[in-house]
Structures are given as structure tokens and as C-alpha cells.
Structure 1
Amino acid sequence: MTGTLTAPAALPGWTTDPAARAAARLDRSGFDPGSDPDAVVVAGSVDEVAAVLAHANATGTPVVVRGAGSGLSGGAVAGAGSIVLDLSGLDRIVEISPADEYAVVEAGVITADLDAAAAHGLRYAPDPASLAISTIGGNIATNAGGLRCAKYGVTRDSVLGLDVVLADGRRIATGRRTVKGVTGYDLTGLFVGSEGTLGVIVGATLRLRPAPVATATLAAWFDGIEPAAAAAAAITAARLQPSVAELLDSACLTAIADAGGPAPRGGAFLLVQTDGFGADAEIDAVRAVVEPFAGSGSGSVEVAADPTGAEELLVTRRAGLPALERLGRVLVEDVAVPRSRLAEAVGEIAAISDRSGIRIATMAHAGDGNLHPILVLEPGRELDEQVWACAGEVFTTALRLGGTLTGEHGVGLLKRRWLRDELGDDVVDLQQQLRAVFDPRGVLNPGKAI
């Protein structure tokens, strides 16, 4: 059957070309479904999206929606018997409204392109580490976070309304263009983070925010990851609210250095930014909180002298995952814990690494307790049971500390086996019933999320 699906009429983006199918098989999670999808459709319009879904619904053919393929939980992997619906061609920024501070975009717009286009003293606040390649639709589908989420929230906090094509090809619009609105159930919030299981997001109305008049940046180096995490928790306890608080352990710093980045100056690194009219005063307060935890060497806590230096520090943070990917196969986890328990979490993750013999490099959005323990496997190693057991210990630790399996990457394919551990049977069953209301034939991203 592979590659032999019949295309619906008048669908120029449909292809069963082997190279196209192979290219659409994987996302960045590294999970391999073992076979290629049967067909790929690069949609050129919302009409084509609707035609694909109507066809898939009528024939009972699974559809996997794809943006940039930058997801880390296996939500966009696709194997035999499925159609990949590629939305990267829906890449128009339809409208920027400076007066009302919103943007209307199609799903395939690259996140960084929207931020750059906002102008008018505005910006799009969510900034995932993959902002240079990830699409708005993918960010919405997973409710992506990012470096600035400590202050500005995750993607959901910037979504005002959505344009969605349902499983049977019908089109709906949810939400509004106003900042407030409570008419009816919050379907917009329901679709955000639904991982392509309730409908296909083809467009969005997004809230823009004023670009800060000033930004201040602090870099601190520590003897180890636990005092660095304790310092991050102390910032919250001091009632300070930085816009960015990012943490890297020694494994991340060493990988970055080996990839051509700066040499590490300690066993862990904390990057903090404050913004707004009081940015300088707030960064001074952050420095006073952080210094007692920092390493003993001179210059262990520094405030960047200029915007160039600040940007270089941000580049260092964003280089973490690509540097680790050079070392072998990575399994990127995405747990979150209450911020007061961040230091405890990183200590237990280090102990899990020691017990299992599997290298775990940890980076974190420390400002909101979101940790990315990254299992770094030797080249050629598969995701075997020992690896999954190690990952399972990380998840169990997060739940025991009052946290969650995923802070921003989504459940996808990789975390479904632990879903009931967090949500419980009744909640999972209710969510599955809700999914069936939107997609009674089960064609949207089957086997993923819920």
C-alpha cells in the first residue's frame, strides 16, 4: 500500500515521491516510526488543507500535520498508511495592527520572522530556542515556551484567536481580536497544546507586546548545578521577575566549548535578563541575590556591558542543544517542577545519571522551573529499555516533586506511557472522549498526545 494512496482532485501539493516521503518521516525527537508515510501534501492554501482532511476523513486515512519538524516529543513522526500535511507553505503575515497590538498570521510563519516583522515598538513575546526554524502553528500545537516565558508566559498567553480546519474539512474561527473575551467555551485555549489531535490550526491572531525600553543581562558561574539552581529559586523567593533565567550544567557548557563556543568558567552557568524601565535596578537586585551562591573565582557574577555582550550570552544558551546533538543521539526531556524544588530536581537527575551510566546534560528555563534533562547516547545507540527506564526515573522524580511530564514540548508519541501517572484514569478517559467529539473517525495524529 505504501505510496499508493489516491490523491483527491485538484491538489497540486500531493506527492508520493520517495524522497519527499522519507524527508517527512521524522521530527527532531529522533524517534523513527520504521517506515515512510504513504504521501505528503505541501498545502498552498486553506482550501487544500480542507480538501486533504475531507478526503482523509472519508477514507479513514491518518493525517499527521507538520510545520518545520522541530518538535522534540515525536508528535510529527509519520509512518506507513498516513498522509503528512505540511503547512510550511502557509507562511503569510496577513496583518500587523500597531494600534491594537495584534498580528494575524498563517500557521507556517517562522517564529523569528513574526518577531522581526512586528516593529512599531512591538514584539511577539514567545521565543522558543528553535525560534529561527520553528513555525507559529507548531508552537501553538505544542503550547511552546521559550526563554522569555518566565515573565511573558507560554504561547497560550499570546494567542487571541485561531482559524482551524476540523477533521471532516469544516472551517471554524475561535477567539477574537480583543484582549478580553469570555463568550462561550474557550475553544482557543483547548486547541492550543492539542498537538494536532482536535483540528488543524491554519491561522492565528496573536497578541503583540511593547518591546522593552531597556534590557539588562547578568551572567553567573557556579561550582555546580545545584547551587546555580538554588540561586535561581532564590530570585523568585526575593519577589523579582526577570524576563529570562536560563541554566546550563557543566555537560552543556563543555559541549558548547567543544563546538567552538566559549570555554566554561565553572560547573554551571546562569543567565538572567531583566527588562523595562527598571531593568538596571532590578538586575542589581538579582546580582545581590545570586552572588552568595556563585563560585569563588573572580568575575563569577558579571553584568553585560553592552547589547552585543548580552546577545553573545543568549547565543551561548541557544547553542546548547545543537552542541549536544554533535555528540550522538539525544533524547530531550521536558519536565517542570515547582521553582522552590529546582535544586532538588537537578540533584536527583544527576544521581539518576550516575546510577544508569547514561550521560544526562541538563539545561533549564530556571525562571519557571522547566528542566530539559537531555540523555546523550553514544552514536548508533537505539532508544533501548535501559534508556527508557532512565527517562522514566526522570519523569517519576518530577511527579514526586509536584511537577509535570512536560512543560512545553508536549506528550507526542514519547511520553504517552506515563500519561496516566500524572493525570489519572478518569481525566485521561475524559480527554479521550473529548478528542472523539472533534475527530470521531480518529484520523488526526493517531497514537499521539492522549
Structure 2
Amino acid sequence: MSEIKYNKVTPEIIEEFKKIVPGKVHTADDINEDYSHDEMPIYGNGYPDVLIEATNTEDIAKIVKICYDNNIVVIPRGAGTGLTGAAVAMYGGVMLDMAKMNKILEYDKENFVVKVEPGVLLNDLAEDALKQGLLYPPDPGEKFATLGGNVATNAGGMRAVKYGTTRDYVRAMTVVLPTGEIIKLGATVSKTSTGYSLINLMIGSEGTLGIITELTLKLIPAPKETISLIVPFENLDDCIATVPQIFLNHLNPQAVEFMEKEIVLASERYIGRAVYPKEVEGVDVGAYLLLTFDGEDMAQLEEVTERAAEVVLEAGAVDVLVADTPTKKKDAWAARSTFLEAIEAETELLDECDVVVPVNQIAKYIKYVYEIGEKYDFTVKSFGHAGDGNLHIYTCSNDMQLDEFKKQVAEFFDYAYNKAAEMGGLISGEHGIGFGKRDYLASFSGEVQMKLMKGIKETFDPKMILNPGKVCYKVN
């Protein structure tokens, strides 16, 4: 493709936007600083020329058509909780704030689906569905992300080990293409063999192929009971090596999380209360598993958790603590859910990757990452979804210069991603590629796959105006 050049938003075009969505168009100092970055500011800051609060599919289509005709960049944005710079306006243009499109439109209980706007928060749908006796299984750590953002990144989360990722729960969607055309993808059915799966191209495309304006999501009957187990270990190796035994014994957990002691301590400082044991009968605890099981009755769950306790104790756990009351479960998961916030609160410079490796390679991979990390001036911290091999590796520093930090982290991530690939893994399990991981994707995927991805991008977005510079396509 020839060199890509974008036009600025003129005062005349801004007036056109204002006619479409009166009172929803913001410029210059009227744009809050929060819109210039996501949750990982190290991947860059950039203000849009215009911020528009999205209202409905038809208005979005009109705005996008104006941008297409005038070769103006468009960036869709949800709650801004991403971690790869995917929703940042690197090239100015028009940012569409989807957060106000936040209605749960209707439940279809006979077909076990719910229709929502993209700005609905994950937490809001989860709570509302439970009131209907239903469960929306995807459970990413950031509960106040939008569902549109979750779908755009194919977010995973804690319960993916049993129930799958966001992709498995998207039945249908309405999308505005970069040309301003409106299409409907999928249907309220559980299977399809109807041509290429365009809906699956849209899921995980990070706002580079189209703008999702409505979603139909699958629900399941909510399990009646849940129990969580806090399982302390003396060291991280024994902790992670236990995970395959849980599956070999057919225990079918809803979630399996691992965490180091240092991250647990940071989280407890952040939430202001101690939850996890630090010493058991004279043994210093170095790491933990957090297991959750769900089912139809407590008697069944107690039998499962007794078997689970036997398995983990035989594998080297120093104790098993049962969280079987609402307060205990809430405390255990509150500590786990605030890991990122706790790290951010205590860290000046921060970067992260969320590689995914086969479950039986987790222990070996984590050991490798820490050994490599010793060569650098930053500190490595880790936690993750031990049940599905999705690992969150953080590089943290409070005393390095930014340029030196970035240089060392880039080298460290080269080692980390190459090792993940060598072990049969991938460079992202749930956070996506965005702007920050784009070059790593190119190195990992190779020339043929990148050519195919770029070809898809060009087909959907011939002028390259939609969220440019992200995932697979560089802007000159």
C-alpha cells in the first residue's frame, strides 16, 4: 500500500458532527486527560482532535461515513481499561466514546441470550444476570471494563478454564464498518456452517475492523453453590507443578489462579486487610493457589473439595483453607482481583505481558522468566490463570530512567516471548496486541501470517482510518 496520510478535522466537519449528536461533541481542553491513554500509559499518550459520545448505531454510521469520505482517523473506546494502548489516539482524529451506550436491552430466557449495548460494564451484566438466575461466564479481572471492549480483545479471565473465553459467548453483533456501512453478524443459534466466520474475525480485532454497536451474548443457568480453596505452598515451583494434578484427577474447577507471596502482600496492603496465611506451622508460605468449584448443591461440592484437598496436600501444599461463606469468598477474590491496582499503587514504571503456554509448561516457563529477569535492573512479578496457562508477567521499577527501563524491558520481553513460542504458547492470552505489542506479533507470527492479517485489515478498512497503527498494521 502507498503511504498513508490522514486529514485533520476541520471546523466545518465538527459542525456536521454537532448536527448529528448535539451536545455530544467535545474538542481541545474539553477532552479529559483520561482519554489520552489507557491503563498502561507506557505505550503512549495521544489526544483525539474530537471526542464524540456515541449514542446509537445510526448516528455512529453517519459520523464514520463523514470520516471515511474525508480520510479522518476514527478510534472506538470503551472504559479505557486496556493494557496495550489499543484505544489510544496515536494519530489524532475522532474518538468515539462508547461508554454511554450502556443499556441491557433484553433477555431471551428461552434461548439463554441477552442483548446489550457495547458500553454495558461486565460487572453490571454479571450482577443483573444473576438476578435472573443466569450466569454470564466470562470473568476478566477488570470488572468495570465494557462488554464491547471485552469482545474487541476476546478477554479471558478467571473462569476460562471451565467455561471458555468471551469468544465462546458471542452469538451475534451489529457492526459499523469503517466505510459507514452497518452489518449484522451471527444469530441466536448455537452452531453455524454458513460461510466464513466474520463474527469471529471481529472478536479480538481490537477496534481495527469495525465498531461494535450491539451484542447478543450467551448465558447459562447460574450454579447454585460455589466454594473456594486457598492453598498455600512453600515455594512457587511446587505451587504451579500441582496444577496438572488437579485436572488429572477430574476435579473440573471453575477457576485456578496462582500468585506469589509478594503480590499477595501488596494486594492486602492495597485493600487494607489480611486474607491469606503467611506462615503455616512454622513453614513460610511462598506462593498460593486459589481454586473455585461450582455445582448444584453443597453436598456435591464438599465431596469435590475434599478430594481436591487430598490432591493438593499430596502434591506439597502446606495447608488448605476453605472459603465457603460469602464473606470469605469475597475477601479471597477481592485480594486476587486487585493485583494490578496494587502493583500500580507501588510502582513508578510498569510494563507487562500476558503470554499463554501449555499448562504442563507453566512451572518451567516461570522459572525461566525469573532467571532471565535477574540480568536486569527492574523487578519481575507474576501471577496468572494457572488453569489455562495464561500468565501475567510484570516488570516493575521505582528508580530507573524511562528510556533505560524501556530498553531493558524490550530485551527481556524478546526472551520471554521467544521462550513462550518455543514451548508451544502464544504472546497474548487475553489482553491483545494493540500498539504496545505490535512488533512482537510481527516477529512471532512470521511473514505469511502477517500478510494475511494485513490483507484482512485492508479489505475491511480500505483507507486505514479505523484505529490505525494497532495489531498488525504500521502507519508510515
TM-score by length of 1: 0.95
Q: Structure 2 CA distance, aligned partners of 1:384 and 1:392?
A: 12
**Structure 2: tracts of 5 or more residues without a match:** 1-6, 279-284
Moved more, 380-389 or 77-86: 380-389
Match of 1:267 among 286, 311, 325: 286
**Cα offset for 1:2?**
7.5
Match of 2:386 among 358, 362, 366: 366
1:33 aligns with 2:53: no
Q: Deviations over 1:192-249 (max 9, x none)?
A: 0011111001110000011112212111111122111111232123333210111111
Aligned pairs for 1:405-420 within 5 A: 405-420=427-442
Match of 1:104 in 2: 115
Count of residues in Structure 1 that have an aligned counterpart in Structure 2: 446
Q: Structure 1 CA distance, aligned partners of 2:429 and 2:466?
A: 23
Aligned pairs for 1:16-415 within 5 A: 16-20=27-31, 22-31=33-42, 33-118=44-129, 119-131=131-143, 133-259=144-270, 260-262=272-274, 265=278, 266-277=285-296, 278-296=300-318, 300-328=319-347, 329-378=349-398, 381-382=401-402, 383-415=405-437
Aligned residues of 1:65 and 1:85 also touching (Cα < 8 A): yes
Moved more, 80-89 or 438-447: 80-89
Q: Structure 2 CA distance, aligned partners of 1:116 and 1:170?
A: 34
1:390 partner letter: F
Q: Structure 1 CA distance, aligned partners of 2:431 and 2:49?
A: 26
Q: Structure 1 CA distance, aligned partners of 2:444 and 2:247?
A: 26
Q: Structure 2 CA distance, aligned partners of 1:286 and 1:99?
A: 35
1:376 partner letter: C
**Cα offset for 1:379?**
6.5
- C-alpha change, 1:393 and 1:320, in structure 2 (3 Å) is same
> Per the alignment, in what secondary structure is the counterpart of residue 104 of structure 1?
strand
Q: Structure 2 CA distance, aligned partners of 1:294 and 1:57?
A: 60
**Cα offset for 1:392?**
2.2
> Per the alignment, in what secondary structure is the counterpart of residue 424 of structure 1?
helix
1:416 partner letter: R
Aligned residues of 1:274 and 1:280 also touching (Cα < 8 A): no
**Cα offset for 1:369?**
0.5
> Per the alignment, in what secondary structure is the counterpart of residue 192 of structure 2?
coil
Q: Structure 2 CA distance, aligned partners of 1:378 and 1:19?
A: 33
> Per the alignment, in what secondary structure is the counterpart of residue 64 of structure 1?
strand
1:302 partner letter: L
1:402 partner letter: G
Q: Structure 2 CA distance, aligned partners of 1:79 and 1:416?
A: 14
Q: Structure 2 CA distance, aligned partners of 1:238 and 1:368?
A: 16
1:366 partner letter: A
Aligned residues of 1:220 and 1:294 also touching (Cα < 8 A): no
- C-alpha change, 1:19 and 1:351, in structure 2 (3 Å) is farther
Q: Structure 2 CA distance, aligned partners of 1:108 and 1:34?
A: 23
- C-alpha change, 1:295 and 1:151, in structure 2 (3 Å) is closer
Q: Deviations over 1:297-339 (max 9, x none)?
A: xxx2122242321221111110211111111232121100000
Moved over 6 A (4+): none
**Cα offset for 1:3?**
7.4
- C-alpha change, 1:414 and 1:314, in structure 2 (3 Å) is same
2:289 partner letter: L
**Cα offset for 1:80?**
4.4
**Structure 1: tracts of 5 or more residues without a match:** none
Q: Structure 1 CA distance, aligned partners of 2:101 and 2:31?
A: 18
Aligned residues of 2:170 and 2:218 also touching (Cα < 8 A): yes
Aligned residues of 2:46 and 2:92 also touching (Cα < 8 A): no
Q: Structure 2 CA distance, aligned partners of 1:286 and 1:85?
A: 48
Aligned residues of 1:273 and 1:283 also touching (Cα < 8 A): no
**Cα offset for 1:19?**
4.3
**Cα offset for 1:251?**
2.5
**Cα offset for 1:437?**
0.6
Q: Structure 1 CA distance, aligned partners of 2:43 and 2:441?
A: 21
1:444 aligns with 2:455: no
2:101 partner letter: L
1:129 partner letter: G
- C-alpha change, 1:178 and 1:144, in structure 2 (3 Å) is same
**Cα offset for 1:79?**
3.2
Moved more, 42-51 or 18-27: 18-27
Q: Structure 2 CA distance, aligned partners of 1:361 and 1:123?
A: 32
Q: Deviations over 1:13-46 (max 9, x none)?
A: 2211324153311011223535422111111222
Q: Structure 1 CA distance, aligned partners of 2:133 and 2:401?
A: 48
Q: Structure 2 CA distance, aligned partners of 1:357 and 1:264?
A: 30
> Per the alignment, in what secondary structure is the counterpart of residue 368 of structure 1?
coil
Q: Structure 1 CA distance, aligned partners of 2:78 and 2:10?
A: 24
